[in-house]
């Protein structure tokens, strides 16, 4: 393993440890000592990659956007549904995403720039809504920028409610219900009728995206 590979692995180990500690205790209560213990690295190694607890938190927040890409769909509204259900599934199953969302939703932490995840999600939703509009999938009165903000805000509220009530156990059902209520006011009836919005959609998209992500590695191995 090269020096660069070791550095990348160490950074990832530190971020995973920080995510676990932040998710369990929150940003304010988390300590560098707990993160060091969880990561099993030296203080020097941690500070080589992250200058402070705030930098660690920003690293975890940033990691939320590094995920499997949703496979491209002919229907951009289906692609938006798939991106939403995939994020919900990862929020339910991935500690890094859970920690990132907890940090993003923590209004007590004025020192953290919590805007990144919201801006990223609004940008993704806006891009897909504009593409959907261009190919006639949306109702004529829809303004994509406004809808994108409402969409992200509604998802944030639903996930916060699911977390408070039962630790995300019903999140996929709640997000599926949100889509079924919201999308008829946005998309053409024929488009809505064709959308796959069930609670199982997130896991299905995850497996599809995971398989697609593994294809380049398999091709590279075969070439060797």
175's CB contacts (< 8 A; 6+ apart) are 84, 85, 88, 155, 158, 159, 199, 202
* Claim to verify: residue 147 and residue 46 sit in the same structural domain: no
Domain residues for 49? 3-60
Q: Higher-confidence residue: 47 or 115?
A: 47
Predicted confidence band of residue 219 (pLDDT cuts 50, 70, 90): very low
pLDDT in tens, 144-181: 999 999 999 999 999 999 988 998 999 999 999 999 99
Separation between Cα atoms, residue 116 and residue 104, nearest integer Å: 8
Q: What percent of the chain has pLDDT over 70?
A: 88
Q: Smallest Cα–Cα separation from 27: which of 97, 95, 99?
A: 99
Once rounded to an integer, what is the mean pLDDT over residues 191-199?
A: 98
Determine contact, residues 188/139, Cβ cutoff 8 Å. Answer: yes
* Claim to verify: residue 139 and residue 179 sit in the same structural domain: yes
* Claim to verify: residue 104 and residue 211 sit in the same structural domain: yes
Q: Higher-confidence residue: 169 or 19?
A: 169
In a domain, 101, yes or no: yes
Separation between Cα atoms, residue 162 and residue 55, nearest integer Å: 28
- Buried b vs exposed e over 26-37: b needs ≥16 C-beta within 10 Å? ebeebebebbbe
pLDDT in tens, 47-87: 999 988 888 888 887 776 655 578 999 999 999 999 999 98
Q: What is the mean pLDDT of the chain?
A: 87
Determine contact, residues 139/187, Cβ cutoff 8 Å. Answer: yes
In a domain, 215, yes or no: yes
* Claim to verify: residue 55 and residue 84 sit in the same structural domain: no
Predicted confidence band of residue 14 (pLDDT cuts 50, 70, 90): very high
Inter-CA distances, 201 with 80, 180, 208, Å: 12, 13, 11
* Claim to verify: residue 40 and residue 97 sit in the same structural domain: no
In a domain, 71, yes or no: no
In a domain, 70, yes or no: no
Separation between Cα atoms, residue 50 and residue 22, nearest integer Å: 15
Q: Report the pLDDT value the prediction gives residue 100, as an integer from 0 to 100.
A: 78
| The two structure tokens encoding residue 150 | 């409402």
Q: What is the CATH number of the domain that holds 102?
A: 1.10.357
């Amino acid at each position: 393993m090269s020096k660069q590979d070791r550095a990348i692995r160490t950074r990832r180990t530190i971020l995973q440890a920080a995510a676990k500690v932040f998710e369990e205790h929150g940003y304010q209560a988390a300590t560098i000592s707990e993160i060091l213990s969880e990561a099993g690295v030296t203080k020097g190694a941690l500070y080589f990659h992250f200058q402070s607890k705030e930098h660690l938190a920003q690293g975890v927040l940033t990691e939320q956007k590094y995920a499997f890409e949703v496979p491209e769909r002919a229907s951009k509204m289906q692609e938006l549904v798939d991106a939403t259900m995939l994020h919900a599934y990862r929020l339910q199953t991935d500690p890094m995403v859970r920690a990132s969302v907890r940090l993003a939703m923590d209004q007590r932490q004025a020192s953290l720039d919590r805007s990144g995840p919201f801006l990223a999600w609004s940008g993704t939703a806006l891009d897909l809504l504009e593409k959907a509009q261009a190919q006639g999938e949306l109702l004529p009165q829809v303004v994509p920028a406004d809808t994108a903000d409402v969409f992200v805000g509604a998802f944030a509220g639903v996930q916060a409610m699911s977390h408070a009530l039962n630790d995300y156990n019903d999140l996929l059902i709640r997000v599926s219900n949100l889509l079924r209520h919201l999308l008829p006011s946005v998309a053409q009836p024929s488009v809505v009728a064709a959308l796959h919005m069930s609670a199982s959609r997130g896991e299905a998209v995850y497996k599809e995206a995971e398989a697609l992500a593994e294809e380049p590695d398999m091709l590279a191995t075969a070439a060797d």
